[in-house]
Amino acid sequence: MNETPHTLGTARTLWELVARRAAVTPDRPVLLQAGRRLTFGELRARAERVAAGLYGMGVRPGTVVAWQLPTRIETALLSFALARLGAVQSPVIPYYRDREVGFALRASKAEFFAVPGVWRGHDHTEMARRLGARGVFEAYGTLPDGDPSVLPPPPAEGTSARWIYWTSGTTSDPKGVLHTDRSLIAGGSCLAHALRLSADDVGSMAFPYAHIAGPDYTVMLLLYGFPAVMSEHFALPGALAEYRRHGVTVAGGSTAFYSLFLAEQRRQPGEKVIPTLRLLAGGGAPKPPGLYRAVVREMGVQLTHGYGMTEVPMITMGDPWDTAENLATTEGRPPAGMEVRIVDGEIRLRGEAVCQGYLDPAETAAAFDADGFLRTGDLGHMTESGHLVLTGRLKDVIIRKGENISAREIEDLLAAHPAVADAAVIGLPDAERGELVCAVIEPAAGTAGPTLPEVVSFLRAEGLSVHKLPERLEVLDALPRNDTLRKVLKYKLRERFSAPPRQG
C-alpha cells in the first residue's frame, strides 16, 4: 500500500499507526534527544519489548497504568508499549505533587504507577509510596523488557476509552478526561494537515509529554514521517544548541514560548536565533495580535496559532498560507469533521476529536448539551470567512455595573504597550460596582512598568471604551503560570488581589 499522511490517519489504533509508519520509513528518525536517536522502526520494536516486560509484570488489556514522567524517549516508548497492550493509561504532569497526583491515582483506580525516581530534586518514588500507590516502578533510564512472542494480539479497535488525561485542577479537583485512540489520532491529524508540514521538517517538543499535546504532536510525526527534538526541561538560551544542531524548522508550544523566542531574538538582532526555523506554532493560551506581528517582523518566521483544550486537543488552527490579518486576529478555521456551534456566545463542539466525557458521569452529563455538543465555557464568534475569534471565557467576563467586559480585549491592547511584557486582566469584588477591572502587569525587561494613569491613557488612545478602563493596577516581577504550556493562572491573581489594596 502506498501510504500517505491521509491514509495513515485512517489507522484504527495508535499502535496500528506506529506499525504502518514503521513499515514505510523504518530507518528515519522520529525522536532526537541529547545525542540519542530513535527511528520509527526502533520505536515499534523497542515498544513491543517494553510491552512484553509490562505483560510479565501483570499489565493486561484494560489494566489502568498511571505514569508521571518527563519528556524523554523512554516516556514515549512506555506510552506506546501500553498502547500496544491495550492498557488504559493515565498520564500525569511531572510537576504535579501530592494533591493532584493522589487524586489522579484514586480517581483512576490505577493498578500500576511509573515514576522517574528523583527528578529535578523531587523524589517521585517516595511520594508515590507516601500516597499508597500500587505497582510503583521507575521508568526513567531503564524500562521493563521481555520477549514479544508472549504478547496477546494488539487492540483491534480504537473507540474504547484507553486514555485518562487530567485538566489542571486550580480551585477544585482535576477532571479525568476520557479519550480514545481515534480521538487522539483525529486531533493530531487535524494539527498536522493544518500546519502544512512535510517529511523534511524537524519539530520540537518543549512541553510535558504527559500533556494532551504529547499524543497530538506524536501523531503528527507518525503521519508525516519527520522527527522532533525532545526537551526534558525547556529553557532559553539553553535549548538553542540542540535546536540548531538538528536544524529545527518548527517550534513553539504556546503564547509564552513565542514570547521567549522573541526575547531571545531581540538579544541578537539581525541574526536569526535558529537559522533553520520557519514556523512557530502552538495554542493553549490567548495570542495578542501585536505578538504575532512582532514575531513575523523581528524573527522572520511565520506564526500560526490554534485553539485546543484537554477535552479536544485540536479545535481550530491557523494556516501558514492565510492572510496576516486572519493569523493575527483569529484562531484559524476548524478542520473538516469538527462542528462548531455558538450558543449565547459560548463555543460548543462535536466531532471525532472530542473526548468521550469524564470519569465522573455527572460531569459528563453537565458538559454535553442535548445534541451531543461539548460546552467549552469559552466565548467567541465565527467570521464570514469561517475563522474562529475567541473573546474570553464565561468565567472570565467582568461584570461592572451590569455591563459585560471582556478581559481578553483589554489584555490584547496592553500587550502592545512598550513597558508591558505580559498582562492579565481580572475582575475583583467591589461593593459599589459589583466588580472592578484590575490589570496585573509583568513589566518589560529594563522597565518598571507603566503607572495606572499611563495605562488608562494608553488604552483610551487605543479606542477602549471608558467603562472598560482598569481602575486598579498591580505590577509583578512575573505572572504566575502553570508548568505545562505556561498559561497564566488567573485564580492565583484573584486570590491575591481580592483583598482591598493597602493604603499609604
Q: Identify the CA nearest to 40 among candidates 3, 91, 6.
A: 3
Residues in the chain: 504
Residue pair 81/48 in contact (Cβ under 8 Å)? The answer is: yes
Check residue 1 and give its pLDDT.
58
CB of 3 closer than 8 Å to CB of 20: yes
With H, G, I as helix, E, B as strand and everything else as coil, classify residue 189.
helix
Is 382 part of any domain? no
Please tell me whether residues 231 and 168 are part of one structural domain. no
- On whether residue 356 sits in a domain, the answer given is no
Look up the domain containing 290 and give its range.
Answer: 183-334
With respect to residue 10, please indicate whether it lies within any of the assigned structural domains: yes
Same structural domain for residues 143 and 194?
no
Nearest to 477 by CA among 428, 443, 432, 430: 443
Specify the CATH number for the domain of residue 416. Answer: 3.30.300.30
Of 138, 153, 181, the residue that ends a domain is 181
Query: Cα torsion at 424, 427, 429, 433 (round to 10°)?
Result: 140
Distances (CA, A) of 174 to 164, 166, 316: 11, 6, 24
Question: Same structural domain for residues 98 and 220?
Answer: no
Instruction: Specify if 485 maps to a domain.
Output: yes
pTM: 0.84
pLDDT recorded at residue 114: 98
CB atoms within 10 A of CB 233: 13
Same domain, 111 and 249: no
pLDDT at 143: 98
Is residue 87 domain-resident? yes
Examine the domain organization and report whether 196 and 317 are in the same domain.
Answer: yes
Residues 162, 32 share a domain: yes
Number of domains the chain is built from:
3
> CA 90, CA 398: separation in Å to the nearest integer?
35
Same domain? 445 vs 310 = no
Residues 421 and 479 in one domain: yes
| Residues 14 and 25 occupy one common structural domain | yes
Q: What CATH number does the domain containing 17 carry?
A: 3.40.50.980
Question: What is the spatial distance between Cα 168 and Cα 492, in angstroms, rounded to a whole number?
Answer: 13
Domain boundary among 303, 334, 365: 334
Quick one: how far is CA 27 from the chain centroid? 29
Q: Are 78 and 209 in a shared domain?
A: no
pLDDT for residue 499: 66
Question: Would you say residue 226 lies in a domain?
Answer: yes
260 near 236, Cβ under 8 Å?
Answer: yes
Residues 135 and 218 grouped into a single domain: no
Report the alpha-carbon distance of residue 490 to residue 44 in Å, rounded: 42
Q: What is the pLDDT of residue 484?
A: 66
Mean pLDDT per segment of 10 residues, for the chain of length 504 residues?
A: 86 97 98 97 98 98 98 98 98 90 96 97 96 98 97 97 82 84 95 92 95 93 97 92 97 87 92 96 84 94 94 94 96 94 95 96 95 93 95 78 79 91 89 85 91 94 86 93 76 82 49
Check residue 87 and give its pLDDT: 98
Shared domain for 197 and 165, answered yes or no, is no
**Could you say which of 313, 334, 355 is where a domain stops?**
334
Which DSSP letter does residue 480 get?
A: -
